[in-house]
Amino acid sequence: MRGLINIISFFKEYFLLTLCILISLVLLALNDNEQIRSIRSLTVASVGFLQDTFGFIPDYFDLRQENHVLRELNVTLSDEVSRLREAKLENMRLRQLVDLRRRSQFEYVSANVVGKNLQLLRNTITIDVGKNDGVKVNMPIVTGAGLVGKVVATSSAYAIGQILLNKDFRASAKVQRGRVDGILVWEGGSYLSLRNVAKTLDVQVGDEVITSEYSSLFPPGIKIGVVSETHHDPGALVQTVHITPSVDFASFEEVFVVTHTPDTSRIALEQQIPQ
Amino acid sequence: MRRAVFYVLVSFLLIIFDTLLTKFLTVGNVVPDIIVVWIVYVAIREGQIAGLAVGFASGLVIDLVSGQDGMLGLAALTKTLAGFVAGYFYNENRRFQILGGYGFIIAIGVASLMHNVVYFLIFLQGTEIGWLSAISFYGIPSTLYTAALGLLPMFVFAHKYGS
C-alpha cells in the first residue's frame, strides 16, 4: 500500500493530468445529459445577465461601422418598402381572385445581442430573450438583412444562437433564380459554401441564395446571401459555390427570433425512411 | 490556502473579463486567450500541478458559459494541457526571472500552441473545415496574439522583480 502511495506521490503530476483528461473526456461524451443541460441553462442565464449588465460599455468601432451600414440599409429598405407595398397590393388582389386563404405570418421576437463568442471558431451569440418570451431551441434568428442562425440553448431570459459561421451549422438552401438546391455549410472562411450542387446546374455569381422549403428547421424564403464565386473542379461531379452572407456578422446588434417551430409530423415521417 | 483562494478569485474575474470584454481586443477574427496567459503565470509561479488544476477549473467554467453544444469538457481538456505544458517551465529558484523575462513569452507561446492544436483537433471532428487551415488562420495568429499580450505582464514582472 505504502509502495503504491509512493508511486502516486512520485508521479502525482501525471496522475492528476490523467484524471483531469479523463473527466474532460467523460464530460465530452455526456453532453446530452439532462443534468448538464440544466447546469448549462443556469450558466447561460448568469452570463446573459452579466453581458446585459455590462452592455452599456460602448464599442465605438462597432458603432461607427453600424452607423454606416444602417445608413446604407435605410436607403435600400426605403426603396424596397415602396416596391413591397406595390407587391402586397398586387398579392391581395390575386389572392382574392383565386380565393386562397391568407397564409399565416410568422411571429417575430425582437432581441438584443448581449454577447458574442468568436473565440477559436466557437462563433455563438447571446441574446436577451429566452423561454419566457416563447423562444425555443432550433428557432431561426434573422435580421433585416437575412438569416443569422438558430437558437441552440435557452434559459428563462436568455438564449444562445449558433450563427451561420459555425462549423456545426447546416441548412437546406436554394439559389433563387435557378431553383438549385444545396446544403449550406461553413468551411472556415468569411464565406459560406453551398454543397451538393451538380456541375450541370445553373448557378451564377450574383444569384441570391435563400432558405429552401426542404429545410425542416427554417421557413422557406429567408435571404442567406449572394453567390460570390463558382468553381468547376475538373473530375468532380459537383461544383463549388461560395456565398457571401447578407448579414454583417461583425456589426449586428439587434436580431429577431422567428417563432417558427418545425413540422414535427414531417420530421418524424422523414426519420422513418432510413429505418 | 490564502493563495489558492486568490487564484480562484482571479481566475473567476478573468473569465468574466474574457466573456464580457474580449471583443475589444479582437483583431479581425483573432482573439487572444487571456486565460492561457493566467494559467502559464500560475504554472511558472506555483508549478505544474497548480497550472493544470487552474487550467482544468477555468476550462470547465469556460465550457459552461460558452454555450457551444456538444463541447463541454473541451476547454477543460485543452487548458489542462496548457497548464501541464507550462509547468515544464517552472523552476523554483528562477521563477521570478522567468516571469520577468522572455521565458514567460516562450511558455505562453508553447502552451497556447499546444492548446490550439488539441482544441482544433477535437473541435473540428466531423466537419469539412481542415485542421491545418484552422490552425494556420486562427490557431497560430491566436497563439502569437496571446504571446504578444503576455509582454505586458512580463514587463510588469521585470520591473517588479528587477529581472
Contact B53 A16 (CB under 8 A): yes
The answer to whether B86 and B45 are in contact (CB under 8 A) is no
What pLDDT sits at residue A110?
84
The label of the residue with cell 455563438 reads A124
pLDDT in tens, A82-135: 778 778 777 776 665 554 344 445 778 888 888 877 766 778 888 989 999 889
The label of the residue with cell 415521417 reads A269
CA distance B116 to chain A (A): 8
CA distance B140 to chain A (A): 11
- Which of A38, A39, A54, A120 to probe the B interface (max B CBs under 10 A)? A120
3-state secondary structure of A6: helix
What pLDDT sits at residue A275?
47
Same fold, A60-167+251-261 and A171-245: yes
Superfamily name and number for A60-167+251-261: Rod shape-determining protein MreC, domain 1 (2.40.10.340)
The answer to whether A48 and B96 are in contact (CB under 8 A) is no
The mean pLDDT value for A213-237 works out to 85
Q: Which residues of chain A lie closer than 8 angstroms to B87, CB-CB? A: 13
CA distance A89 to chain B (A): 44
Task: Please count the CA atoms within 13 angstroms of the CA of B37 that sit on its side-chain side.
Answer: 22
Of the candidate ranges A38-42, A150-154, B145-149, the one whose mean pLDDT is the lowest: A38-42
Q: Which residues of chain B lie closer than 8 angstroms to A124, CB-CB? A: 66-68
Candidates B23, B60, B127; nearest CB to A116: B23
Contact B19 A24 (CB under 8 A): no
- Taking CA–CA distances from B131, the nearest residue in chain A reads A188
Q: What percent of chain A is predicted at pLDDT more than 90?
A: 9
ipTM of the assembly? Answer: 0.85
Mean of per-residue pLDDT scores for chain A: 80
Contact B73 A36 (CB under 8 A): no
DSSP single-letter state for residue A199: T
- Taking CA–CA distances from B50, the nearest residue in chain A reads A13
The answer to whether A141 and A255 are in contact (CB under 8 A) is yes
Residue closest to A169 by CA, chosen among A149, A197, A189: A149
What pLDDT sits at residue A104?
43
CA distance B159 to chain A (A): 31
CA distances from A183 to A163, A171, A194, A246, B115 (A): 16, 6, 5, 17, 32
In CATH, A171-245 is 2.40.10.350: yes
The answer to whether A242 and A226 are in contact (CB under 8 A) is no
Contact B80 A26 (CB under 8 A): no
What pLDDT sits at residue A34?
66
**Residue-wise DSSP of B46-88:** H-HHHHHHHHHHHHHHHHHHH--TT-TTHHHHHHHHHHHHHHT
The mean pLDDT value for A169-197 works out to 87
Cell of B143: 497563439
Of the candidate ranges A159-163, A191-195, B25-29, B154-158, the one whose mean pLDDT is the lowest: B25-29
Return the higher-pLDDT residue of A30 and B133: B133
Q: Is the pLDDT of residue A231 over 70?
A: yes
* pLDDT < 50 positions in chain B: none
What pLDDT sits at residue A61?
63
Contact B77 A24 (CB under 8 A): yes
Q: Does A8 contact chain B (CB < 8 Å)?
A: no
Long-range contacts of A226-234 (CB under 8 A, 24+ apart): A227/A175, A227/A194, A227/A203, A228/A191, A229/A191, A229/A205, A230/A203, A230/A204, A230/A205, A232/A199
Domain boundaries, given as residue ranges, for chain A: 60-167+251-261, 171-245
> How many Å apart are CA A47 and CA B64, to the nearest integer?
10
Contact B49 A12 (CB under 8 A): yes
What pLDDT sits at residue A150?
92
- Taking CA–CA distances from B117, the nearest residue in chain A reads A120
Task: Please count the CA atoms within 13 angstroms of the CA of A76 that sit on its side-chain side.
Answer: 8
Return the higher-pLDDT residue of A176 and B86: B86
**Residue-wise DSSP of A52-119:** HHGGGS--HHHHHHHHHHHHHHHHHHHHHHHHHHHHHHHHHHHHHHHTPPPPPPPPEEEEEEEEEE-G
The mean pLDDT value for A164-188 works out to 87
The mean pLDDT value for A176-205 works out to 87
What pLDDT sits at residue A100?
36
CA-based angle A70:A76:A77, to the nearest 5? 80
Q: Does A124 contact chain B (CB < 8 Å)?
A: yes
pLDDT in tens, A133-148: 889 888 999 887 889 9
pLDDT in tens, A200-222: 888 889 999 999 888 888 888 88
- Taking CA–CA distances from A161, the nearest residue in chain B reads B67
The mean pLDDT value for A160-165 works out to 90
> How many Å apart are CA B105 and CA B113, to the nearest integer?
12
pTM equals 0.66
The mean pLDDT value for A41-59 works out to 72
Q: Does A54 contact chain B (CB < 8 Å)?
A: yes
What pLDDT sits at residue B146?
93
3-state secondary structure of A244: strand
What pLDDT sits at residue A5?
80
Cell of A261: 417551430
Contact A185 B124 (CB under 8 A): no
Burial A159-176 (b: 16+ CB within 10 A, else e): bbbbbbbbbbbebbbbbb
The answer to whether A244 and A226 are in contact (CB under 8 A) is yes
